[in-house]
Amino acid sequence: MQPVVFVHGFLDTWYAPWWGRMAKHVENLGLVPDEIHAVDKGLVPGTTVRSPRDYAELVREEVEKAYDRHDERVNLVGHSMGGLDSRWYVEQLDGDELVDTVVTLGTPHHGTLLSRWAFFTPGGRDMTMSSDLIRTLKNDGVADGVEYVAGWSTSDELVKPKRSAKLPSQRENVTNVNLGPMSHFEIQWRRSAFDKFAGYLRSEG
């Protein structure tokens, strides 16, 4: 399988224990730890509140590092706002040249009504349904040559409306996957959710 780069979401940190569980799931598919990368936005939970535009630069750095080390295109897996970071990199910063598949988990592709509670932060403002970032991603659309898998949950309490976690399905390179009745945070570590999107992680470029 190709290298994987994880991108955590708003307020989260790569060092939280659930990402360790996700990494173990990926190792069970055959990757070794050296092939698993993660975007490091900060050590302290609750402080990762910048714009996806800013974090997209960190995604670029980690993807380029993984590509240079393994000499093959990578799979991006972004949870929540991490999916917007990933898409901004792929679609606005030419990341489609190095990325094969983008998996998003509980990502508010069309914004979320709950973002009003975090409007005082750049990330919160960018997740409003009328933000410039959301409008740009919707208007420009997904990148050609990249496979997209949008995982959504029927019980996601933070993505409102729930359909916001889906991507337009009329594109041939887009698949929406119902991860089941799990909370916004459960979908990033439960094995049953992982099993529903694991098969879409590409094994060759």
Average pLDDT on 30-54 reads: 94
Could you tell me the CATH number of the domain that includes residue 108?
Answer: 3.40.50.1820
pLDDT at 176: 97
pLDDT bucket at 1, cuts 50 / 70 / 90: confident
Tally Cβ neighbours within 10 Å of residue 126: 24
- Inside any domain, residue 75: yes
**Looking at the predicted structure, is the pLDDT value of residue 139 above 60?**
yes
pLDDT at 110: 98
Average pLDDT on 1-23 reads: 94
Average pLDDT on 118-124 reads: 96
- Inside any domain, residue 205: no
Q: Is the pTM of this model over 0.75?
A: yes
pLDDT bucket at 158, cuts 50 / 70 / 90: very high
Average pLDDT on 25-29 reads: 92
By residue range, what is the domain housing residue 134? 4-200
- Inside any domain, residue 159: yes
- Inside any domain, residue 15: yes
Average pLDDT on 137-161 reads: 97
pLDDT at 203: 62
- Inside any domain, residue 162: yes
**Looking at the predicted structure, is the pLDDT value of residue 184 above 60?**
yes
pLDDT bucket at 124, cuts 50 / 70 / 90: very high
pLDDT bucket at 202, cuts 50 / 70 / 90: low
| Total structural domains within the chain | 1
**Looking at the predicted structure, is the pLDDT value of residue 146 above 90?**
yes
pLDDT at 136: 98
Mean pLDDT of the chain, nearest integer:
95
**Looking at the predicted structure, is the pLDDT value of residue 79 above 90?**
yes
- Inside any domain, residue 66: yes
pLDDT at 205: 45
Place of tokens 């019980």: 155
Average pLDDT on 26-44 reads: 92
DSSP the chain: ---EEEE--TT--TTSHHHHHHHHHHHTTT--GGGEEE----SSTT---S-HHHHHHHHHHHHHHHHHHHSS-EEEEEETHHHHHHHHHHHHSSGGGTEEEEEEES--TT--GGGGGGTTSHHHHHTSTT-HHHHHHHHH-PPTT-EEEEEE-TT-SSSSSGGGGPPPTTSTTEEEEE--S--TTGGGT-HHHHHHHGGGS-S--
**Looking at the predicted structure, is the pLDDT value of residue 88 above 70?**
yes
